[in-house]
Amino acid sequence: MSHGSVNSLTKKTIKLRGMSLVLAAMLSAGASAEIVERTFCVWDPVGAGGPVVNLIKGAVTKAIGWGVQLKLDVYTDEKVAANDFKAGKCAGAMMTDVSVRDFNQFTSTFNAVGAIPGNEELRTILTTISSPKAAKLMREGHYEIAGILPIGSVFIYVRDKKIDSVEAFQGKKMAVLNNDPVAAQMVRRVGGSVVNSSLTSFSGQFNNGSVDIIFAPAVAFNTMELYKGLDSGGILDYPLLHTSLQIVIRHDQFPEGFGQHLRDYSLSMTDEMLEVVAKAESEIPPHFWIGIAEDVKGNYSEYMRQSRIALKGEGYYEPKALKLMKKVRCKYSPTAGECVQNDE
């Protein structure tokens, strides 16, 4: 063998050994990457086989790639789930935006009355707040909002079709979930009577006549069997507010960047969620919808604007969130009267 051949072979051997060392280091790093297990509290009114649990299963699969094995702990009572999360019994939780108010005022404000009028505005808002640039707004103390999943507009369900205006709400018994102070304030503002309720009891209260009015999205119509309370009543065909399920985590119990990964994934689910909402709304029989005259809609709109301003002043709505939503509304409806006003 020539001297040149020996040198060539030696160089190849050194190169192969170098590649082997790099590969070994990569394998070693992969082997040492630890998958941490974290308990995740999930509220689902149906239980372990319900729609919310099925919804979160996709995130469970994705989370493994982000270094976390999520162990689901399912609750049929949202208040218990929120309290257990607050007590540290789970590292993350999925709950409605009403319960999220205890953990992040900014994102809980997205259910402000009349603040998100349509799906285009909703998509723009979710895209904006899911950006890494908005990450600091997602954290409040130990908590971080790691995803928002829209579940549709909330409508006003009434047991009597004559209850079709703000004036007609006076003296009526209205269900308020979990003593929510914002909802209670809204009920009092229209002269209604507050009846404490929960997600496990409000449908029964409505169906048996214990309350005259409830507030719920279309997805609850069949799930909660709300049609049983509508023999002489209906649903006002005017969205009151937009509601969502939100994912909250204790950010110090997850790998760095986990919250952003989950927000990106949640954002990718938006269209799928809106399809579910649209289907639920289309499945409500037409005779249940109560049409609202255009002038009455204008009254509702102004009433809700004044309510947002008042509730902001009382510390219930976060000003930055209200400002963002108004900016988005005016992007799509620049000639609206509110766009030249500076009181929100």
C-alpha span between 143 and 53 (Å, rounded): 22
Q: 20 burial class (0-12, 13-18, 19+ CB within 10 angstroms)?
A: exposed
pLDDT in tens, 36-80: 999 999 999 888 988 899 989 999 999 999 999 999 999 998 989
Q: Report the pLDDT value the prediction gives residue 21, as an integer from 0 to 100.
A: 43
Please check whether the two domains, 34-154+243-298+317-340 and 156-236, share a CATH topology. yes
Residues 61, 66, 69, 71, Cα dihedral to 10°:
-70
Residue type, 106: F
C-alpha span between 268 and 10 (Å, rounded): 52
Scan for tokens 């285009």, then name that residue: 120
> Can you give the residue ranges of every domain in the chain?
34-154+243-298+317-340, 156-236
pTM: 0.85
Average pLDDT over residues 235-252: 95
Is residue 6 pLDDT above 90, yes or no?
A: no
Q: Does domain 156-236 have CATH number 3.40.190.10?
A: yes
Burial track 197-219 (b if 16+ CB lie within 10 A, e otherwise): bbbeebbebbbeeebbbbbbbbb
Q: How sure is the predictor about 294, in pLDDT bands with cuts at 50, 70 and 90?
A: confident
Bigger pLDDT: 5 or 331? 331
DSSP structure class, residue 49 = T
Q: Report the pLDDT value the prediction gives residue 88, as an integer from 0 to 100.
A: 96
Contact 286, 174 (CB under 8 A): no
At a CB cut-off of 8 Å and minimum separation 6, what does 150 contact? Answer: 122, 126, 242, 243, 244, 270, 273, 274, 277
The CATH classification of domain 34-154+243-298+317-340, taken from the options 3.10.310.40, 3.40.190.170, 3.10.20.520, 3.40.109.10: 3.40.190.170
